[in-house]
Amino acid sequence: MNLTDSLLDFFLETREYTESICKPLEIEDYVVQPSIDVSPPKWHLGHTTWFFEEFILKPYAKSYSIFDVDFSFVFNSYYETVGKRVVRADRGNMSRPSVEKVYAYRNHVTGALKSFLEKKNSKEVLDILEIGIHHEKQHQELLLTDIKYILGNNPLLPKYTKNFKEHNSLERAQEWVPMEEGIYEIGHKSTDFCYDNELGRHKVYLHSYAISNTLVTNAEYMAFIEAGGYQKFDLWHAEGWDWVNREQISAPLYWHIIDGIWHHYTYNGLQKITTETPVTHLSYFEAFAYAQWKGCRLPTEFEWEAAQHLFAWGQRWEWTESAYLPYPNYKKADGALGEYNGKFMVNQKVLRGSSVATSSKHARPTYRNFFQTNLRWQFTGLRLAK
Ligand SMILES: [Fe+2]
């Protein structure tokens, strides 16, 4: 087994897993886009395929025949370097190409890439292949959360599958982990894959702090709601308070009160909320307000990374107090792939830790996720610091 064989297997298993996520869907579920931030499953299937076609097959595989010349326009997400594309809000307005044709596109590209790699490859190609695989894994998480949003905003609240466990109990009792002041190294270190935004590794000085070894639970968050947390302006940022009032927010996304009992939409349909599982589907605004109410705060991403080996993580993306900014000596890639991360480093907060929807081999202590402060359709929760 050489590097190409293992990467090829990794590629094939990743392609297959994306399709398995879509197995429980009805054909109509593939097309709708109930919010601009959510993409139709059909679009994810095509876009992850386009990435390999655009960045490997077109430039490197001389005998490759393009599946459909219009697909770059349909499935390019945000790469200005590559050219014009369908505006994001219109992704759900396209009944064509059909789902069947998009699956045929997937097979065409998967097959062509497999035969290309078996014949010929270079370090340059393998590096792009690796990014393409991890790119598809990022979209697997988005696919899962977009499917939840699509079905969870359907008035019938249909089930996706009962086989996806999105709520685990806390594994331990809450304790404060004390951290000493000092210099800590932050950023990716090993030779394993990472994104450019996890580099360069650098030193930060942290004052002493304490961080919770557990995530905030549904029961704890219910206490915030019952104490009138959504009605107390002094707990919120000005932007957060405007958001609460404008959008009439009074609970996490997917929460519904039925006969005085809190329920939430899950992949297995509407369920009673279990109190001792980590709260999820919170915006940064809500995470911040909750921390204020507790007389605590959110950790910075550096505090989180310095302490991550001391607590369990991996159930919820955790909002941090850190703005999404480049690390010192950050260098974006040349060409189109330089658009992958760098141009989004404005007006977003960093999330750390990964979630129940994160694909295998895609979570690591230095991974930096990022979203705008009002968004909450990912499995987002929080951990307190003080
Ligand atoms: Fe993408």
Tell me: pLDDT of 285 over 70: yes
- Give the pLDDT of residue 334: 85
Calculate how far, in angstroms, residue 71's C-alpha sits from the geometric centre of ligand 1.
14
Distance 259 CA to ligand 1 centre (A): 42
State how far the Cα of 137 lies from the Cα of 134, in Å rounded to an integer: 5
Q: Is the peptide bond before 97 cis (omega within 30 degrees of 0)?
A: yes
Tokens of 6: 């293992």
Distance 151 CA to ligand 1 centre (A): 22
Distance 76 CA to ligand 1 centre (A): 8
Distance between alpha carbon 303 and the CA centroid of its chain, in Å?
Answer: 21
Cβ-based neighbours of 21, under 8 Å, separated by 6 or more: 140, 143, 144, 147
Q: How far does residue 300's CA lie from ligand 1's centre (Å)? A: 27
Distance (Å, whole) CA 331 – CA 327: 9
How much distance in Å is there from the Cα of 127 to the middle of ligand 1? Answer: 17
Q: How far is the CA of 180 from the centre of ligand 1 (A)?
A: 39
How many Cβ atoms sit within 10 Å of the Cβ of residue 127? 13
Dist. CA 362 → ligand 1 center (Å)? 15
- Chain-wide mean pLDDT for the chain? 96
Closest CA to 279 of 378, 152, 369, 379: 379
The answer to which of 263-267, 286-290, 339-343 has the lowest mean pLDDT is 339-343
pLDDT of residue 286: 99
Give the mean pLDDT of 269-289: 96
Domain ranges of the chain: 3-152, 176-381
342 Cα: distance to centroid of ligand 1 (angstroms): 14
The first and second tokens of residue 115, run together, are: 């035969």
How many whole angstroms from 77 Cα to the centroid of ligand 1? Answer: 6
pLDDT of residue 252 exceeding 80, the answer is yes
Res 4: pLDDT: 74
Ligand 1: distance of its center to the CA of 278 in Å?
28
Of the pLDDT bands very low, low, confident and very high (cuts 50, 70, 90), residue 332 is: confident
pLDDT at 172: 83
25-36: average pLDDT? 97
Kindly give the distance from the C-alpha atom of residue 51 to the centroid of ligand 1, in angstroms, as a whole number: 8
53 to 66, 95, 267: CA distances (angstroms): 8, 22, 32
Q: How far apart are CA 203 and CA 221, in angstroms?
A: 35
Ligand 1 center from residue 258 Cα (angstroms): 38
Q: How far is the CA of 40 from the centre of ligand 1 (A)?
A: 13
Cα separation, 337 vs 50, whole angstroms = 14
Is the CATH number 2.70.40.10 carried by domain 176-381?
A: no
Q: How far is the CA of 98 from the centre of ligand 1 (A)?
A: 20
Among the residue ranges 126-140, 219-233, 328-342, the one predicted with the least confidence is 328-342
Give the mean pLDDT of 363-367: 97
**Cα 360 to middle of ligand 1, angstroms:** 18
Q: Are 225 and 349 in contact (CB under 8 A)?
A: no
Percentage of residues in the chain having pLDDT higher than 70 = 99
Cα(308) to centroid(ligand 1), Å: 28
pLDDT at 94 over 90: yes
User: How many percent of the chain have pLDDT more than 90?
Assistant: 93
Q: How many whole angstroms from 137 Cα to the centroid of ligand 1?
A: 10
CB 217 within 8 A of CB 252: no
Q: Is the distance from CB of 116 to CB of 64 less than 8 angstroms?
A: yes
Ligand 1 center to 45 CA (angstroms)? 10
CATH class of domain segment(s) 3-152: mainly alpha
> How many whole angstroms separate alpha carbon 20 and alpha carbon 157?
21
Residue 1 has pLDDT above 60, yes or no: no
Report the predicted TM-score, pTM, of the whole model to 2 decimal places: 0.97
Nearest CA among 174, 185, 241, 207 for reference residue 383 = 174
User: What pLDDT score was predicted for residue 2?
Assistant: 67
Rg of the chain (C-alpha set):
22
Question: Ligand 1 center to residue 337 CA distance, Å?
Answer: 11
State in Å: Cα 47 to ligand 1 middle: 7
Distance 345 CA to ligand 1 centre (A): 16
- Specify the pLDDT at position 5: 83
Distance 15 CA to ligand 1 centre (A): 14
Q: How far is the CA of 143 from the centre of ligand 1 (A)?
A: 11
- What is the pLDDT, as a whole number, of residue 121? 82
Span from the CA of 302 to the centroid of ligand 1 (angstroms): 26
CA of 50 to the centre of ligand 1 (A): 9
Q: What is the Å distance from ligand 1's center to 382 Cα?
A: 26
